[in-house]
């Protein structure tokens, strides 16, 4: 599942991102309404978790703009306020669900899962790209009748590359998404895991390659590209 979190409170955002990653969900983060709206319009997410009180553009305006643009992505709104009129406004603007802070993490995850199902999508147990298949339960990567098991970070990196559908991902972006802002990991860590993945794709004789563009980043392609 891919989630967009739009939340400006640093501690809460970090806690929610850790919660999503523990569930093996891919999550992007924006800390203001304008950036959140831009991200939501540029990429298809399964669920958007959207705070109401945001810099630059509040959550009500963001969800209203999304619906006017024809985006039907389910939206779960978060707020520190518990007034009925705020809930009504959020739902009237196009939100699908509403939670008041503080909340129990397990309930938030349950609501996120429910919203994804409500959209009519099924959470898959495997991920396919080109001629390979990645089991999300076992992290086994298969192609051409061969199978190899990926380490946790290798699997997370591969899922991140697949989720971005051929878009270039810079090393800093990969570091932030897979290791977090507080990690001591460096760009060499990214290079190492890219190398590990390339070797395993080569072992499987997969048609999928990891392309590197100097000073720009990495992306998955089908064919001969390094």
Q: What is the per-residue pLDDT for 32?
A: 96
Each residue's pLDDT, cut to its tens digit, for the chain (226 residues) gives 899 999 999 999 999 999 999 988 999 999 999 999 999 999 889 999 999 989 999 988 999 899 888 888 899 988 876 566 666 666 777 888 888 877 778 888 988 988 887 654 444 567 888 899 988 778 899 999 999 999 888 988 898 888 776 788 899 888 888 887 667 778 888 999 999 999 999 999 999 999 998 878 999 998 754 4
Residues 6+ apart with CB under 8 A from 7: 13, 16, 29, 31, 49, 51, 54, 78
pTM above 0.95, yes or no: no
Neighbour-count burial for 79-105, b at 16+ CB within 10 Å, e otherwise: beeeeeebbebbeebbbbbbbeeeeee
Cα distances from 42 to residues 3, 109, 124, 154, in angstroms, run 13, 24, 23, 26
**Cα–Cα distance, 113 to 1 (Å, whole number):** 9
Q: How many CA atoms lie within 13 A of 194 on its CB side?
A: 21
H or E stretch at 86: helix 84-93
CB 147 within 8 A of CB 133: no
Reply yes or no: is the peptide bond before residue 153 cis, omega within 30 of 0.
Answer: no
Q: What is the per-residue pLDDT for 76?
A: 92
Tell me the pairing of strands 26-30 and 2-6: parallel
Q: What is the per-residue pLDDT for 147?
A: 95
Which residues are registered as beta bridge partners of 220? 210
Residues 6+ apart with CB under 8 A from 31: 6, 7, 8, 10, 13, 55
**Three-state DSSP state, 98:** strand
């Amino acid at each position: 599942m891919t989630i967009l979190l739009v939340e400006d409170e640093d501690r809460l955002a970090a806690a929610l991102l850790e919660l999503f990653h523990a569930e093996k969900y891919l999550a992007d983060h924006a800390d203001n309404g304008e950036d959140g709206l831009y991200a939501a319009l540029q990429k298809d997410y399964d669920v958007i978790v959207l705070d109401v009180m945001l810099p630059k553009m509040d959550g009500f305006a963001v969800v209203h703009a999304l619906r006017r643009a024809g985006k039907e992505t389910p939206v779960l709104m978060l707020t520190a306020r518990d007034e009925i009129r705020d809930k009504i406004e959020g739902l009237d603007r196009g939100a699908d669900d509403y939670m008041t802070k503080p909340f129990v993490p397990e309930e938030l995850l349950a609501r996120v899962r429910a919203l994804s199902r409500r959209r009519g999508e099924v959470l898959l147990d495997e991920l396919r790209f080109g001629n390979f298949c990645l089991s999300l339960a076992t992290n086994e990567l298969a192609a051409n009748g061969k199978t190899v098991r990926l380490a946790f970070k290798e699997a997370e990196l591969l899922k991140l590359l697949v989720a971005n559908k051929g878009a270039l991902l810079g090393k800093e972006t990969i570091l932030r998404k897979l290791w977090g802002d507080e990690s001591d990991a460096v760009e060499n860590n990214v290079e190492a895991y890219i190398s590990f993945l390339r070797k395993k794709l080569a072992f499987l004789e997969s048609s999928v390659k990891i392309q590197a563009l100097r000073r720009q980043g990495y992306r998955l392609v089908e064919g001969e590209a390094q």
